[in-house]
Structure 1
Amino acid sequence: MAWKSALNIGTLSLILSLEAVAAGSFLIPAKALNSPANSVHPPSRPQLPLNWQTVQPPELSGSRPNSQPSAATWNNFQPPEQGVPGRREGGGTRGLACPTATTALIPQSTMGQTISEKPTFFYYVPLALDKTVQFELADENDKTVYKKSFRMVTSRAGIVSVSLDSDGNSPALKVGKNYQWYFTIKCNPKSYTDDVLVSGWINRTAIAPTVKTELDRSPDRRAQLSIFAQQGLWYEYLATLAQLRRESPSDASLALKWSEVLSSVELGKISQEPLVPSVLTPITKK
């Protein structure tokens, strides 16, 4: 009968083993899928396509090991709960006098972070310009907090900039707040339907004391570029790099960095366009 006892013990062991395997197979958690809620665009604004990415915000608590900018670095922002995505490119066909291919230099998410009270914004305009442009800043509820019209004059196609710091009456962005900006080129003063519009979101963030100390100890702006990239500060990175390129237009390494950062957000097609000066004359209402 000893062989029967051995058989029963072996059979019992096999059953227990199979039960353990079956139990273990249910210990793998299912992945939760989050789908962003649809939002309704206020009627006071043109309806824009809902095509942004919902991703997690970066932690500005210290330097990341990789300072090379990438799409993940620049698109790593959480869109506001209310509001609509921005629009990087103009559109439509309204004739040669209207720069419909105007493009905002922002990530695909249309969101970017800054530590500046009054940052600088960059746009590619595909032809020489002598038109009225309007820059508007609104809060998360689409309430206008700043609006200014200018006559913009450029000598050729290229990348222009608009800086809030150039206007003493512009508001200082508040830490922790999201703002939506609108840049409009008025192609036909008699019809707003001919306007070329690009827009995006900007978030002013507080920076960790350790990172601020690191920036203060790095007077070399080339060294600061790495810190801005580590922290995902799109507006600081682009403004600093643009200024360096203006000062050293023949520096191939700066040109390469410019091409790399624009290519990382799928704007490589305009990475070779020149930085062009523009004359901005404020338009005052009579």
Structure 2
Amino acid sequence: MSFRKQLQSLGILSTLLGTSLLVYPPSSQAIPEFLVSVDFPQSAPSGGGTLSRTYGGGSRTGATSCLEEGDNVEPLTALIPEDTLVKTADSEPTLYVYVPKTVSSEEISATVVILTPGQPRQLPEEVYVGKTLLPDALNEGGGIVRYKLEGADLKAGETYTWSFSIHCDPTKYDLDRYVRGVFERTEDLEPLPANLDNMNATSLIAKANEYAAGAIWNETVNLAAKLRSLDTGEWAGLLKSVNLPQFESIPFVSCQNSEYCVPEPEDLEF
């Protein structure tokens, strides 16, 4: 379903321009050590210093965030390469976001916005706006949430700026916490096959290396996450290759009895 006819202005544009814990059980089909090989290539920064995979936004003096914060607390972080570029073969990619423990008794909402690049003398165009609630499991501790952007409809050969914003108070955007980056839809490789559950570890690793060799992050991280249920080595190795080793043991958090959270274009009122 396309969101193009249902887009709403959510007050995010100016900012952008400036579940229960899913614990993977041990598997008897451990991956042999010599197969642990997924390593994502490093590349030059593409964000021009304007985008960040860790949280942005500042609080007013005396204001309190709805996320746990402190010197020893990892901040809101998008699990993406340091250059913030997320290449994908999928028109509906998946965002992996580490969200710290929530410290509010109220439901906390979040918004994903995708924009086309701005043209000379033209503002960027919103092509996707999805709203969701943070999983209740985050009340117990921080976790990695996977957001499947169904309906994003990214076009091949195009780049898009995206933001993921958490609204601690929907009436006060200066309390928002957000991460930002860039999607680039590529046709260099096909999207992930639908039969991943039927593929063995060796085949999954080979496919992950194929995407990694093409610097296609979305599919690489999806496959590494799939392999995590068999052996943690691939997941840990991939995160280390993009300088995110601190998240290798953080559990995934589910949304409404599903591994993935799917932001909706409506049904949530801010």
- Shift of the 99–148 alpha-carbon distance from structure 1 to 2, 3 Å rule, reads farther
- Shift of the 119–74 alpha-carbon distance from structure 1 to 2, 3 Å rule, reads farther
Is residue 274 from structure 1 mapped to residue 251 from structure 2 by the alignment? yes
Aligned match for 2:135, one of 118, 143, 153 = 153
Aligned match for 2:52, one of 74, 87, 95 = 87
Please report how far the alpha carbon of residue 241 of structure 1 lies from its aligned counterpart in structure 2 after TM superposition: 1.7
Aligned-partner residue type, residue 250 of structure 2: E
For 2:155 and 2:144, how far apart are their aligned partners in 1? 27
**Secondary structure at the counterpart of residue 232 of structure 1:** coil
Please report how far the alpha carbon of residue 231 of structure 1 lies from its aligned counterpart in structure 2 after TM superposition: 1.4
Contact 2:45 2:84 in 1 (8 A): no
Q: Which residue of 2 aligns with 1:181?
A: 162
RMSD: 3.2
Contact 2:109 2:132 in 1 (8 A): yes
**Secondary structure at the counterpart of residue 179 of structure 2:** strand
For 2:189 and 2:135, how far apart are their aligned partners in 1? 40
Contact 1:99 1:125 in 2 (8 A): no
Q: Which residue of 2 aligns with 1:207?
A: 188
Please report how far the alpha carbon of residue 284 of structure 1 lies from its aligned counterpart in structure 2 after TM superposition: 2.7
Aligned match for 2:67, one of 91, 95, 98 = 98
User: Where does the alignment leave 5 or more consecutive residues of structure 1 unmatched?
Assistant: 1-42, 49-66
Is residue 227 from structure 1 mapped to residue 210 from structure 2 by the alignment? yes
For 2:189 and 2:147, how far apart are their aligned partners in 1? 27
Q: Which residue of 1 aligns with 2:125?
A: 143
Contact 1:159 1:273 in 2 (8 A): yes
Matches within 5 A, 1:1-286: 44-45=14-15, 68-70=38-40, 73-75=41-43, 85-91=50-56, 92=58, 95=64, 97-99=66-68, 101-128=75-102, 130-141=107-118, 142-156=124-138, 157-165=142-150, 170-207=151-188, 219=199, 220-245=203-228, 248=229, 251=230, 254-279=231-256, 280=261, 282=264, 283-284=266-267
Aligned-partner residue type, residue 144 of structure 1: E
1:181-227 CA deviation, whole Å, 9 max, x = no partner?
11000001220110001010010111269x999xx9x9532321121
User: Greater Rg, structure 1 or structure 2?
Assistant: 1
Contact 1:69 1:264 in 2 (8 A): yes
For 2:126 and 2:189, how far apart are their aligned partners in 1? 30
**Secondary structure at the counterpart of residue 44 of structure 1:** helix
TM-score by length of 2: 0.66
**Secondary structure at the counterpart of residue 149 of structure 1:** strand
Contact 2:16 2:180 in 1 (8 A): no
For 1:275 and 1:199, how far apart are their aligned partners in 2? 20
Contact 1:114 1:235 in 2 (8 A): yes
**Secondary structure at the counterpart of residue 256 of structure 1:** helix
**Secondary structure at the counterpart of residue 121 of structure 1:** strand
More helix by share: 1
For 1:185 and 1:99, how far apart are their aligned partners in 2? 13
**Secondary structure at the counterpart of residue 116 of structure 1:** coil
Please report how far the alpha carbon of residue 148 of structure 1 lies from its aligned counterpart in structure 2 after TM superposition: 1.7
Q: Which residue of 1 aligns with 2:33?
A: none
* Percent identity of equivalent pairs: 26
Aligned-partner residue type, residue 85 of structure 1: T
Please report how far the alpha carbon of residue 45 of structure 1 lies from its aligned counterpart in structure 2 after TM superposition: 3.1
Q: Answer 1 or 2: higher relative contact order, Cα 8 Å, separation at least 6.
A: 2
Please report how far the alpha carbon of residue 158 of structure 1 lies from its aligned counterpart in structure 2 after TM superposition: 0.6
Contact 1:88 1:110 in 2 (8 A): yes
**Secondary structure at the counterpart of residue 106 of structure 1:** coil
